[in-house]
Chains A and B, each alone.
Chain A
Amino acid sequence: MKRNSEKIITTTIRIAGSSSILFLMLIFFFLLKEGIPAIMEVDLSSMLGKRWYPIEDLFGILPLLSGSLIVTVFSMLIALPLGVGTAIYIGEIAPRSVKEILKPLVEILAGIPSVVLGFIGILVLSPLLRRTFNLPTGLTAFTGAILLALISIPTIASIAEDALYAVPKSYRDASYALGATQWQTIWGVVIPAARSGILTAVMLGIGRSLGETMAVMMVTGNAPTVFTGISSFFAPVRTMTATIASEMGEVATGSTHYHMLFLIGIILFLVSLAINIASSTAFQKRDKKGQVTS
């Protein structure tokens, strides 16, 4: 009897566990099925062109790739120090009373819908940036990056904080016993011990930035321009996600444009896959040196 119920429970859990793999496979096959025809229909040279204008069958994906990368990289430059810093402050430095207020606040920030942040971006942030930096327009990659940073900071902070929490107290005690200061302990002992969890937080943050659509579509101006230098940070860009979102509703099913949008979906998928693989191989090399895995 006991065995039977155990069997049922393990099977259920096994199905639940493998279902995510199944869903991933289904999504990937669907993407491939709808996106691969684009490679046949559009030749490579025009696909690597610098102009995306589907009305005239110009399907150059460079501007979209460059737009997504600019916004993501820039948002990470803002979100990483702030997110990890928040986690260190909450986990290691803040007194208990402050910590109890700050932690839920960060979680509330994570719950703000991105479309609301987009509104704030249009009405407050974009005019402010235009005036402060004397830009032609406030709808730029920079504006999008700030909003994306706001969106990904809570993700990074709460996961990194969990990782710091998982570091055993004995590590810190040992460090203090050796005469290390609090900063030396944090920098030299706690962070290295929690690095795998912190890296996971960073990866999820990047994923969040790369995949975010609504807020980005509202504030980046959506002009398909290619990266030309530092000035591109302060110019309008068009991301891959915004392109899919704004054009998918219009496109005729089965047309070249339709297949191209799915191909962009495949590229997004591959980029985030590459980020995940890169981060997990980085862990495995370091794991051998011995550390706490959270």
Chain B
Amino acid sequence: MKRNALGIIFILSIIVTACGQTGASQGTGSGATASQSYIENKGSDTLVNLALAWAEQYQNDCPDVQISVTGGGSGTGFTALINGTIDIANASRAIKQEEIETAQASGFEPVEFIVANDAIAIIVNLENPISELSLEQVSQIYKGEVNNWSELGGYDRPIVRLSRETNSGTHVYFLETVVRLGSKEDKSIFSADTLLLPSSEGIIAEVRDNPNAIGYDGLGYVTEEVKKVGLSQIGSDLYILPSAETVVNGQYPISRNLYMYTRGEPSGFQKEYLDWILSPAAQEIVMELGFVPLEMVN
């Protein structure tokens, strides 16, 4: 019976949009929330705008599904998933081994979906003459080895380093990929005077106002009021600006997957929703919001 219903939904999702008649699957759905078509979605602040846009579009297409989206950070999302308060966790980093173990201890296996890609843009103030940096230089800046813009060919001004808080998936990704340049043995960390700002918007606001500042943020958050810096891979002189194209073709050095996690294999309307997210229609929204889709459309 369950297989049948899923099959019908699968066919429906191919023929029509992703929106099947969710009512059909209700009888077989497992879990408490499956009896009402209600999806609680929480986690990464990087992903929150995108998840909201998806949810809005999907609720337009299928009015009987209700989706609520909140942010709070990737770790917060995993904690909520493990505690059973939400159905789908958004994350800007992969789930950690300890988190998988805690999930198993509470009786389910987290299932991972890669839903979009995101480039991390290094940003500076528009007045800053620096427009290209190598990955090593960015690492030196954040480790506190380079402290003045003049050392990099800029004005004689102190460098003010901005970062997200340590509970942010972006912070951890940046630490591993940029500060430590992807090396597992490297245990160097951010310079102690790095400003830890509670939000992506806070970083954009400070970089916009402060000519001394350098920051990093997901490409989807970067506005025209700050300058994106071209980055070169290790051992290359080619400086690449972050964009959907340069991420998909692998030229831009710092990009990552964005994830959603469910409590076990999703079924019913949750599965339909996740299938829809991977469809071209939903991936177009990814492009519109400045993130990078899973595959380049055209």
Contact = CB atoms under 8 A, between A and B. Distances in A.
Contacts of A122: 202, 205
Given A55-B172, A136-B212, A252-B102, A247 B197 contact: no
Interface of A: 50-51, 53-56, 58, 63, 122-123, 126-127, 130, 136-139, 217-218, 221-225, 235-236, 238, 246-247, 249-252
B235 to A, nearest CB: 27
A137 B160 contact: yes
A136 B167 contact: no
B73 A249 contact: yes
Contact of B165 (A136, A222, A235): A222
Contacts of B195: 137, 139, 221-223, 236
A151 B189 CA distance: 35
A221 B163 CA distance: 10
A137 B212 contact: yes
A56 B187 CA distance: 8
A126 to B, nearest CB: 8
Contacts of B189: 53, 55-56, 58
Contact of A139 (B76, B167, B206): B206
B119 to A, nearest CB: 23
Given A138-B210, A246-B167, 6 more contacts: A54-B166, A55-B171, A122-B202, A122-B205, A137-B212, A218-B202
A261 B192 CA distance: 19
B197 A222 contact: yes
Contact of A53 (B73, B166, B198, B206): B166
25 contacts: A53-B189, A53-B190, A55-B172, A58-B189, A122-B202, A123-B205, A126-B209, A127-B209, A136-B157, A136-B158, A137-B206, A138-B209, A138-B210, A139-B195, A221-B196, A222-B197, A223-B192, A223-B193, A223-B195, A236-B195, A247-B166, A249-B76, A250-B75, A251-B167, A252-B98
Nearest to B75: A250
Nearest to B73: A250
Interface string B144-168: 0000000000000111100001110
B193 A236 contact: yes
Given A122-B202, A137-B213, A246-B167, A252 B175 contact: no
Contacts of A249: 72-73, 75-76, 167
Contacts of A246: 165, 167, 196, 198
Nearest to B74: A250
Interface in B196-228: 196-198, 202, 205-206, 209-210, 212-213
Contacts of A222: 165, 195-198
Contacts of B209: 126-127, 130, 138
B194 interface: yes
A63 B192 CA distance: 10
B177 interface: no
Contacts of B213: 137
Contacts of B171: 55
Which of B79, B157, B192 has the most A CB atoms < 10 Å from its CB? B192
Interface residues of B, number: 35
A279 B171 CA distance: 43
- Determine the main DSSP class of B at the interface with A: mixed
Nearest to B102: A252
A221 B191 CA distance: 14
B297 to A, nearest CB: 35
A130 B75 contact: no
Contact of B196 (A50, A51, A136, A223): A223
Contacts of B98: 252
Nearest to B209: A127
Contacts of A137: 160, 195, 206, 210, 212-213
A53 B198 CA distance: 15
Contact of B166 (A55, A127, A218): A55
A224 B189 CA distance: 13
Nearest to A221: B195
A26 B202 CA distance: 37
Nearest to A51: B192
Interface string B104-141: 00000000000000000000000000000000000000
Contacts of A58: 189
Contact of B198 (A55, A136, A217, A252): A217
Nearest to A127: B209
A41 B145 CA distance: 32
A138 B207 CA distance: 11
A242 to B, nearest CB: 9
Which of B73, B158, B196 has the most A CB atoms < 10 Å from its CB? B196
Contacts of A136: 157-160, 212
A251 B99 CA distance: 11
A236 B202 CA distance: 15
A255 B13 CA distance: 43
A64 B202 CA distance: 21
Contact of A218 (B99, B175, B196, B198): B198
A238 B202 contact: no
A130 B125 CA distance: 15
B193 A235 contact: yes
Nearest to A214: B198
